[in-house]
Structure 1
Amino acid sequence: MAPRPPELSGTPAERLAALERGLAAAAARGGHPPPTLVAVAKGVPPDAVQPFLAAGHQVFGENRVQEAQAKWTALRSEWPDVELHFVGQLQANKAAAAVALFDAIHSLDRPSLVAALARACAKAGRQPLLFAQVNIGDEPQKGGVAIAALPALLAEARSAGLEVAGLMCVPPVDREPAPFFALLRELAQRHGLERLSMGMSSDWDIAAALGATHVRIGSALFGARVQPINLDSDKML
């Protein structure tokens, strides 16, 4: 297994700065530009998010539509330039709410969601940045389209009027992530997709070195999360 990236410490501003430096250095080693840092604030209360906003960070991720609505409606009134990314598995019946709230959705993975998002985007007159989630390790417990089914999903999205900008993956936790990140990059190149959402708190440096354009980092920035209470889990249907 590859060594874990260094632990971050200090104030929110110091943790952000250290992470941005680390991402830039890792990306440079691989000959890539620095990726966008998506600070995943799932289960993090608003008062713990505000110091990161005050430090100048504007790109955040959530994995539950209802939690994000409750949290960011108020925060966005003070920080209107925030960019929100949905990084969890999305129910088709929450597609309209997700399109209205989020600037990017990282988990397009099945035909029913293609149809729901196409309807929601047409009605709203806007489309978030879309990533197709690939089940890169062929793990039955994880979401994501199978590698063999990816071409058909992308074709279906195009036929429905959706523009897929890139691919996303979550490698198996007990395996070296580099080969899976390299495979995702190869799949993106094969399909003419420029964006790669890959890398989390345990492997962001590897992902950046291998060409990630977006990394999704939560616990390394925020620490242990507070689990939300009385919220729909937004699991896939």
Structure 2
Amino acid sequence: MELEDIRRRIAAAEQAAGRTAGSVTLIAVSKVQPAERVEAVLNAGQRIFGENYVQEAQGKWPGWRNRFDGVSVHMIGPLQSNKAKAAVQLFDAIHTLDRISLARKLAAQIAEQGKKPELFIQVNTGEEPQKAGVLADDLPGFLASCRELGLSVQGLMCIPPESEDPVPHFRMLRRLARDNGLAGLSMGMSADFETAIAEGATHVRVGSAIFGARNYS
């Protein structure tokens, strides 16, 4: 199945880049995918999944967690501040921390619930006005504010502009992570995850290459 092909390609990309085998985490992006496709991937042994919408994830993952051990669900879409409580309840990692209002809400919920999801700051490397994310110049100050709130940030995330070569954006993210003492790099999707691995990605977010095209209707 497609999952096995993606796993082989990740392993080959790790080896080609001189990376340790298994150093890249595959996040299978299951948003808007039919239940039978997701269950097929669960049955094939994949346990880390990515979702874009809190409400959709609430509707399907509690049931699958009861049936499959070791499931980890990552929030990879924009997160509204008023969904912080549900996000901390549901997600094992949040890749889209991008503003102080959300940081405050997450800090309060993490303290209240006693949970510690992995946190990644989304960086708008292309400075696209329609896209979420902290600007590169604002990252050090924002990260300091997050740390003052008691948040433990593991890494950075980016989504390069569709029309551009992703390599400069991946390299920018890697440099920003290094300069700010962060180890995690959530970057690379179905079309460019091998390139992202060559540039240091620790987490790749692959959806359609595993599940097939999404039907938003």
What's the TM-score bracket when you normalise by the shorter of the two chains? over 0.9
Please tell me whether residue 65 in structure 1 is matched to residue 57 in structure 2: no
Q: Within 2, Cα distance between the matches of 1:24 and 1:214?
A: 13
Correspondence for 1:117:
106
Correspondence for 2:167:
178
Gaps of 5+ in 1: 1-13, 229-237
1:18 is matched by which residue type in structure 2? Answer: D
Q: Within 1, Cα distance between the matches of 2:69 and 2:16?
A: 34
2:93 is matched by which residue type in structure 1? Answer: A
What pairs up with 1:202-221 in 2 under 5 angstroms?
A: 202-221=191-210
Correspondence for 1:135:
124
Q: Within 2, Cα distance between the matches of 1:68 and 1:92?
A: 16
1:75 is matched by which residue type in structure 2? Answer: W
1:19 is matched by which residue type in structure 2? Answer: I
2:174 is matched by which residue type in structure 1? Answer: R
Deviations 1:45-96 (A, max 9, x none): 2222001010001000000000001011211110131000000000000001
1:58 is matched by which residue type in structure 2? Answer: R
Q: Within 1, Cα distance between the matches of 2:15 and 2:158?
A: 22
Please tell me whether residue 21 in structure 1 is matched to residue 4 in structure 2: no
Percent identical across equivalent pairs? 52
Deviates more, 1:24-33 or 1:85-94: 24-33
1:61 is matched by which residue type in structure 2? Answer: G
2:157 is matched by which residue type in structure 1? Answer: M
Deviation of 1:27 (Å)? 2.1
Deviations 1:160-197 (A, max 9, x none): 01000000000011111111101100110001100100
Deviation of 1:17 (Å)? 1.6
Cα root mean square deviation, aligned: 1.0
Deviates more, 1:107-116 or 1:73-82: 73-82
Normalising by the residue count of structure 1, what TM-score does the alignment of the two structures yield?
0.88
Normalising by the residue count of structure 2, what TM-score does the alignment of the two structures yield?
0.96
Q: Do the aligned residues in 1 keep the contact of 2:124 with 2:159 (CA within 8 Å)?
A: yes
Q: Within 2, Cα distance between the matches of 1:52 and 1:223?
A: 12
What pairs up with 1:4-43 in 2 under 5 angstroms?
A: 14-33=1-20, 34-43=23-32
Deviation of 1:30 (Å)? 1.9
Deviation of 1:205 (Å)? 0.7
Structure with larger RCO (C-alpha < 8 A, sep 6+): 1
For residue 215 of structure 2, the aligned residue among 226, 230, 233 is: 226
Correspondence for 2:137:
148
Correspondence for 1:232:
none
Q: Within 2, Cα distance between the matches of 1:58 and 1:37?
A: 9
Gaps of 5+ in 2: none
Deviates more, 1:219-228 or 1:155-164: 219-228
Correspondence for 2:81:
92
Q: Do the aligned residues in 1 keep the contact of 2:2 with 2:211 (CA within 8 Å)?
A: no
Q: How many residues align?
A: 215
